[in-house]
């Protein structure tokens, strides 16, 4: 069974959802570890002998049932629910806008409340359905500090890191909107995968550099992969980094998810320009960290992302150097047709050039898929995520090439 062929309007917008409770200062239980949740309950008068049981109850309701209202926790005593409502929140973020592409890709613009003396912030989360899988692309920061020269998202300044709660909330909200919790209905006309779950894979590949927000990302991903809750296999979770070498080692040791590297060049002088973090962590150090990543095998490969830029990094010599660079590293190489955006100085490589590049990589023994554009009519492709205040005009969007976020992580 394939995904539904229903054709939806290019941009189906949801109205602004006014959520007064989000403006408060109550802490959220979402994103807390079990230990942190236990401490929060004890601090609010829950007897020591009840804490473990209460944490188990809350964990079930938050991450298996997916509730966002304490009153829905029917096996929790009424006075306990009242205490929880007075001191905590489990509310979802505001949905400022929801867009649905003709190909089934969905993009949500989410608004989170102020933190401390800050202001409300917005991030984008993208869902891509395929036959047999559905991939959710999650943001880790508001904006980005890396300023990669070919990336539209990188033109937005870094505002702040997202909390573990805010990272997890993207997954919870997407599961809400897709009917992916028990007793929830799938949206009418939605394109969904043929798997039991609507969201089978997640990628930390949205706005921001996840490894510059390591602790919050770690906490969120460990909760997402917890077998007594959201229960996503770590082989179905992919963290994409531009190359923060010290935290690549930590990711392997402390999180253990699949790894993707935004490579894009095989020579330091070019990568210094395309991906400026290379000046701090050059290719030799980056590849050494990849070789040392725990559990690498032909069945558990690192994905290397390589955007195809015309007359910049797309020559046959570049392909040869790429094979040489990755020799001995179990790897898959995703070739990404460049996504143009207003003001960019780059162009997408010619299709014949991309195919020639891919053929050489394949003949050298590396899987080298060419990414199919997805979600381009709603500006949901990689490198095109940006908050509402700096979005491109709708009339410009149809002109842009895009690549799909899907295809990361294992199928089983």
- Residue 262 labelled as part of a binding site: yes
Question: Which tens digit of pLDDT belongs to each residue from 194-216?
Answer: 788 899 999 998 888 999 999 99
pLDDT in tens, 386-407: 443 344 433 233 223 234 354 6
More confident residue, 279 or 336: 279
Give yes or no: 348 in active site. Answer: no
1 band by pLDDT with thresholds 50, 70 and 90: very low
**Residue 140 marked in a binding site:** no
339 labeled part of a ligand binding site? yes
Q: Contact, 187 vs 14, CB < 8 A?
A: no
Looking at the predicted structure, is the pLDDT value of residue 288 above 80? yes
pLDDT for 14 beyond 60: no
For residue 374, name the pLDDT band (cuts at 50, 70, 90): low
Question: What pLDDT is attached to residue 8?
Answer: 31
**264 annotated to a ligand binding site:** yes
* Residue 346 pLDDT: 84
Instruction: Determine the distance from the C-alpha atom of residue 152 to the mean position of all C-alpha atoms in its chain, rounded to a whole number.
Output: 16
Higher pLDDT, 376 or 30: 30
User: Among the options 137, 290, 348, 382, which is catalytic?
Assistant: 382
| CA–CA gap between residue 161 and residue 146 (Å, rounded) | 13
Residue 175: per-residue pLDDT: 95
The structural domains of the chain, ordered by start, are 34-87 (1.10.150), 94-387 (3.20.20.70)
Could you give the CA distance from residue 252 to residue 37 in angstroms, rounded to a whole number? 26
Is 151 labeled as ligand-binding?
Answer: yes
Residue 290 is labelled as binding a ligand: no
Residue 315's pLDDT band (boundaries 50, 70, 90)?
Answer: very high
Q: Active site includes 124?
A: yes
Condensed to tens digits (0 to 9), the pLDDT of residues 46-58 reads: 999 999 999 999 9
User: 124, 130, 165, 305: which one is catalytic?
Assistant: 124
Question: Residue 153 above 80 pLDDT?
Answer: no
Distances (CA, A) of 339 to 271, 278, 300, 405: 18, 22, 28, 13
Identify the residue with better confidence: 336 or 342.
336
Please state the pTM of the whole predicted model.
0.84
């Amino acid at each position: 069974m394939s995904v539904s062929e229903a054709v939806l309007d290019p941009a189906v917008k949801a109205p602004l959802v006014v959520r007064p409770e989000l403006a408060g200062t109550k802490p959220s239980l979402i994103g807390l570890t079990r230990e942190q949740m236990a401490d929060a309950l004890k601090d609010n008068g829950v007897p020591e002998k009840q804490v473990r049981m209460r944490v188990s109850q809350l964990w079930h309701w938050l991450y298996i049932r997916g509730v966002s209202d304490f009153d829905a926790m029917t096996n929790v005593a009424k006075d306990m629910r009242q205490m929880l409502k007075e001191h905590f929140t489990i509310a979802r973020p505001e949905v400022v806008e929801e867009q649905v592409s003709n190909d089934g890709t969905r993009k949500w613009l989410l608004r989170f409340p102020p933190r401390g003396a800050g202001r409300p912030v917005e991030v984008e989360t993208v869902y891509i359905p395929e036959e047999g899988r559905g991939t959710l692309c999650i943001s880790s920061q508001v904006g980005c500090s890396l300023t990669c020269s070919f990336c539209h998202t990188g033109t937005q300044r870094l505002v702040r890191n997202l909390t573990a709660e805010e990272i997890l909330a993207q997954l919870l909200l997407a599961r809400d909107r897709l009917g992916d919790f028990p007793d929830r209905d799938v949206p009418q006309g939605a394109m969904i995968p043929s798997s039991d779950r609507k969201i089978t894979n997640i990628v930390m590949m949205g706005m921001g550099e996840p490894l510059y927000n390591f602790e919050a990302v770690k906490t969120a991903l460990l909760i997402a992969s917890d077998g007594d809750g959201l229960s996503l296999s770590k082989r179905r979770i992919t963290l994409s980094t531009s190359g923060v070498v010290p935290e690549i080692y930590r990711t392997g040791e402390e999180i253990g998810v699949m790894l993707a590297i935004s490579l894009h060049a095989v020579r330091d002088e070019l990568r210094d320009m395309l991906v400026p973090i290379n000046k701090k962590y050059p290719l030799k150090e980056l590849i050494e960290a990849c070789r040392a990543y725990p559990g690498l095998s032909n069945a558990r490969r690192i994905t290397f992302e390589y955007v195809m830029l015309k007359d910049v990094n797309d020559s046959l010599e570049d392909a040869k150097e790429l094979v040489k660079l990755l020799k001995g590293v179990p790897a898959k190489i995703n070739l990404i047709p460049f996504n143009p955006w207003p003001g960019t100085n780059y162009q997408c490589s010619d299709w014949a050039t991309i195919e020639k590049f891919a053929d050489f990589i394949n003949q050298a023994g590396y899987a080298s898929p060419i990414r199919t554009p997805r979600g381009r009519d709603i500006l949901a492709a990689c490198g095109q995520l940006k908050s509402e205040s700096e979005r491109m005009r709708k009339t410009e969007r149809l002109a842009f090439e895009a690549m799909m976020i899907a295809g990361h992580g294992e199928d089983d």
